[in-house]
Every structure is written in structure tokens, then in C-alpha cells.
Chain A
């Protein structure tokens, strides 16, 4: 490591690290020599990128395919108003390069897929997973295990966070547990909401992503005890924390006794996400067609299957019957005229229609394609999107 050198500017910048006895210039050299891939530049990626850049990680890879949206700014502190509409990787790079000009930033403006994951991940020493969906969680995990990389993991939901260090090889050469030891199979699609579907308190990713950044730094420098073989859980609502001991499972299909997964698989399929051809077969109506029906005073019923708190944010004057109450309220739904059912994006309303058709024989139900979001995009710009 002695070949890694620092300029006067760098020595001054990192002085608060250099004077920690167990960290010192050796820790700083390891940071500068390290290559870290941050997967996802959202709530967790924001504090991670800021702190890893500030700390002086020599090469930081950023991967994301999305653009900055107004609804990101409540928690994704990496971005400002001017970045809205800009690709996240581009805005992120600009921000962290301004914070630390001494580091090298590599941008991957793409979705991480089974096709490109091994090729991208292989160039890095440590991966930090801040993605927002189950298929990518399993993909990142499997790619790291197949390539022997440490996966610093964190995940959030509403007021709760989880942190762990997966697939970590300790000084004795023992490899710690990975995501599949903890959660061998994914929950069925739709049961565990993402931040976009279920919401998240804005400070939470700041706390959890900062813990994740700290674990990345510990893994790289070898300072302290990384959170390998342990799962940290934080509930910000009641301020409950637990640090669970976790173990490797010999049934793990990746690196258990009899490995059955030797290459990356189709993670959408693994997580039960319907492929295009398997999508719900319900009748659809576009927002333009609905707008015409309203204009021409067509006699129809509009049902909104969202929750009351969503109705308060934005509504198009549908009758509110939340999805969970659709069954008990089926007699409120007309069977003798056209009924349009909508939700936020069109997913829950399709579920409602499928249920009503199968169980109660409705034949007059139409799903509003794209939901109230499409209405806000195409018909009424004054309607807030959430």
C-alpha cells in the first residue's frame, strides 16, 4: 500500500482520519486504492455517495437508469431542484466530484441486469446495495457471491431499516452469510411495498445509508468489526434496535452444500413478477377515452380503489372503495352500466377487477390504464402526482 501517495491538499483534507490511531494513513491509503460500486442512487445511495466521496474512496462506481424526480427530493439529499429531469448518475457525479476532486468516478447509466451484472461488478472490490426492489436485491447478492465480492447491504421500509455485510471473507478466510441465507425466497409480488408504493420517512435512508457507508469504510480499511454474520434492524418509529446473529445455511443454493445456482438467473421470474404475456387480462380504458366519456356526459360509474389518505392528495371524484373493502362492498358497484375502476398506477384496480369478475361475475368493469398518474400526465396537469 505504500505506493499510494497523497498530495498536500489531500493530507490536509483527510487529516481527521489520519490522526485516529487505528485508522491513520494506512486506512486512508486503503480507501484511496479501493473501488466501490454503489448500486442505486436513491435514498440510500445519496448519503453513501456523499460520505464515501468525502472519505476519499479512490474509485466510486455509480449505477442507475433513472432521472431525478420532484418526489425524490424529500429524502435523496444528493440532488437539488435544478437536477430534476437530469439522469441521476450525471447529477450524482457532478455533486460528489464537486465535493471531492481527488477521487475517480465511474458512471454506469443503465439498469443492472443478469446480462451486464458480472461484467460491471467484477471491476470493483466492494458493492453497496441501495436498490429498491427484490429482483435486483437477489441479482446483486448472487453476482457478489459468484464473484467473491463483499456486498454491503441495507434496505428500508416506511420507518424501518436493515443493514448487514454479506459474503464477507474474514482474515481467516471464512466467508460470512449472504442475503439468501436470510431470505431464501422472495415474498410474492405486491405483498411488501417499495418506497414508491408504501412510502418512507425522509430521514430514515439518511440514517441507514450512513451506517451502510460506514460499513463500506470498515470493510475496505479492516478497521473494527464489520457487520458480517449480523443483521442490524432499526425501527425509527418506536426506536427499537436489534442486532441479530445470523448464520450460513447449508441449503443455500449459491454456496451451500449442494450449489444449484452457478450463474445469474432470471430474477424477475424468480420473484414471480408477471411477464408481459402473463399480465392480468382485464378490459382497459385510456385516460383520453375516460376524459371523452366525462365530456360527453356518458352514464358510467367511477370507482377509486385507493386508500383515503391517497384520495386526499389527489382524486378525480371517483367513489372511494379501498381495495381491501372491495369484496364486502361489491353491491355498491353497478352491474348494469359501464364501470371504470382506477387506482394510482393501474395495478390495484386490475386486482380489484379480476376479483370482482372471478368471484361475482361482473362483465362491465374497465381498468383505467396508468391510473391517476396517467390522468395527471395527459389530462390534468394541476393534479399532484405522488
Chain B
């Protein structure tokens, strides 16, 4: 199934783009999706914590992803 990834902050810099459409196995969890993304962009692994939201709601790693979900990757930013 296809999912839409929306990357913010340093994740967007690492991935080189804000939007990414990814083909992932049906019934993948957030954790499995992150593993797929991190294989493509190993530097993402260095970010100790990123907030992941599905359809504008914070989710935990075990959450299952559905087709057409919008998955936002939100790393912390510190500037002020």
C-alpha cells in the first residue's frame, strides 16, 4: 500500500524533500515504516527522538498504518 510521508525540520533536510510517497507492506506498523525509511536515510537513526503523527495525531511505534494515511515526522527543533 502507499502512504504519504511529510517530513519536518532536520528530517526534511536529511531526506532531501518534504513529501515522500512510499510503498510499504500492508498492516505495517510505525516501527516497521521507520525501519524502511531509515534504510533509505541512515542518518535519521541518529535522531534519538522524533514525534510521529498519523493524520494529525501523535502515535506510538506499535500503531498500525492504513493506506492513504498521512505520516508526519517531526524532530525536535531548538532555535529561539
Contact = CB atoms under 8 A, between A and B. Distances in A.
B38 to A, nearest CB: 14
B72 interface: yes
A156 B56 contact: no
A45 B80 contact: yes
A65 interface: no
Most chain A CB atoms below 10 A, which of B58, B78, B79:
B79
A187 B47 contact: yes
Contacts of B53: 242, 244
A188 B78 contact: no
Interface in B50-80: 51, 53, 56-58, 72, 74-80
B18 interface: yes
Contact of B8 (A183, A187, A233): A233
B56 A244 contact: yes
Most chain B CB atoms below 10 A, which of A156, A160, A205:
A160
Nearest to B43: A191
Nearest to A155: B77
Given A42-B80, A233-B8, A242 B48 contact: no
B15 to A, nearest CB: 14
Contacts of B76: 134, 137, 155, 182-183, 186-187, 192
A200 B46 CA distance: 23
Chain A interface category by residue count = 35 or more
A192 B75 contact: yes
A185 B78 contact: no
B80 A156 contact: yes
A294 B48 CA distance: 43
Given A235-B8, A244-B58, A132 B78 contact: yes
Interface of B: 6, 8-10, 18, 46-49, 51, 53, 56-58, 72, 74-80
5 contacts: A155-B79, A161-B77, A233-B74, A244-B56, A246-B58
Interface of A: 40, 42-45, 129-134, 137, 154-157, 160-162, 182-188, 191-195, 198, 200, 205, 231, 233, 235, 238, 240, 242-247
* Smallest CB-CB A-B distances: 9 pairs: A157-B77, A195-B79, A132-B80, A185-B48, A156-B79, A130-B80, A244-B53, A246-B58, A183-B76
Given A231-B58, A233-B72, 11 more contacts: A42-B80, A134-B78, A156-B80, A157-B9, A186-B48, A191-B10, A195-B80, A231-B51, A242-B53, A244-B74, A245-B58
